[in-house]
Amino acid sequence: MTTMYDSTNPFDIPPTAEMVAGYIDGLYAWPPAGWARFAGAKQWRIAVSPFTNDGNVLDVEAGNAGPSQAPGWVTRRRAAGIAPIIYVQASSWASVRLAFAAQRVAEPYYWIASYDGDPTIPAGAIAKQYADPTLIAGHPHYDVSNVDANFGGGGSQLGEEVTHSEKRAWARLAYVAGLGREPESDEALNGWAEGIADDGSNVDSVVSRIIDSPEGVAHLARVSALTSAKPVLVPHKHPASEAVAD
């Protein structure tokens, strides 16, 4: 595992950090000097706007990108040769995954935020932001995340060597997003992973074979029915105990 630091101010992060994440757009975009400060470190570049076709992380939270905007950003970054990552609070993760399933876009890597002091990365994610300043001794102006060391580190690009763990992650996410379930066995997961080229060049076609299967089509129909259903307003009748006095 690798410890990663992020902050709205790059100069508040320890200069010895081996991995950092910073912003490339918005109010807190890092200046060139901020990135240069960590020239020797692995870097994750965060976009807060879904219309910024740059970086390798999209910040999906209130005030920034919304869940329904994540699939489009991921598609554009993949077209640019980037293996994209979505940053999202644990409480909103399900909404993001549903958006990918509904739009028929293979899920990306996930960086999950949950400030509980536990660095354990949840299944289906490659990083967890587990501590904010209130949980860190001295209350410094940065957050701390735990990143899976098997992941390509500083925003790996498609075309670079893809590890077996990354291949398994792609296949598993295709199952969860496209079929709504976990792989039936470890052997099945490995079988799909082994079908992905070492440079990741055919990952989209492998993922499509999973999500476009008859089971995947049926799952999409169920998801679409849920997301397109119109709410029904039911009149509320106050019980006698709640009646308003004349």
Mean pLDDT by 10 residues, the chain (246 residues): 93 95 96 95 95 96 93 94 93 89 87 95 91 90 90 48 78 81 91 86 80 86 67 52 46
Same domain, yes or no: 141 and 172: no
Same domain, yes or no: 37 and 98: yes
User: Looking at residue 233, what is its pLDDT?
Assistant: 52
Examine residue 239 and state whether it is found in any structural domain, yes or no.
no
Examine residue 240 and state whether it is found in any structural domain, yes or no.
no
Q: Could you give the C-alpha distances from 154 to 132, 189, 197, in angstroms and in order?
A: 21, 25, 21
Examine residue 245 and state whether it is found in any structural domain, yes or no.
no
The CATH number for 7's domain is 3.20.20.80
Q: What are phi and psi of 228, to 5 degrees?
A: -95, -10
User: Looking at residue 58, what is its pLDDT?
Assistant: 98
Same domain, yes or no: 47 and 169: no
In the block, tokens 């792609």 appear at 170
Examine residue 55 and state whether it is found in any structural domain, yes or no.
yes
Same domain, yes or no: 220 and 133: no
Question: How many domains, in total, are found in the chain?
Answer: 2
User: Looking at residue 205, what is its pLDDT?
Assistant: 79
Residue 28 is which amino acid? Y
Stated pTM of the model: 0.66
Same domain, yes or no: 143 and 174: no
Same domain, yes or no: 13 and 124: yes
Examine residue 101 and state whether it is found in any structural domain, yes or no.
yes
Examine residue 236 and state whether it is found in any structural domain, yes or no.
no
Whole-number Å distance between alpha carbons of 165 and 21 = 22
Label residue 14 exposed, middle or buried (CB < 10 Å: 0-12, 13-18, 19+).
exposed
Examine residue 13 and state whether it is found in any structural domain, yes or no.
yes
Same domain, yes or no: 83 and 188: no
User: Looking at residue 227, what is its pLDDT?
Assistant: 55
Point out the domain boundary residue: 119, 147, 175.
Answer: 147
Same domain, yes or no: 75 and 132: yes
Domain region containing 124: 2-147
Same domain, yes or no: 133 and 170: no
Report CA torsion sign: 192, 196, 200, 205: negative
Whole-number Å distance between alpha carbons of 150 and 38 = 21
Examine residue 60 and state whether it is found in any structural domain, yes or no.
yes
Q: What are phi and psi of 45, to 5 degrees?
A: -105, 115
Same domain, yes or no: 36 and 128: yes
In the block, tokens 């869940």 appear at 67
Same domain, yes or no: 125 and 72: yes
Same domain, yes or no: 175 and 134: no
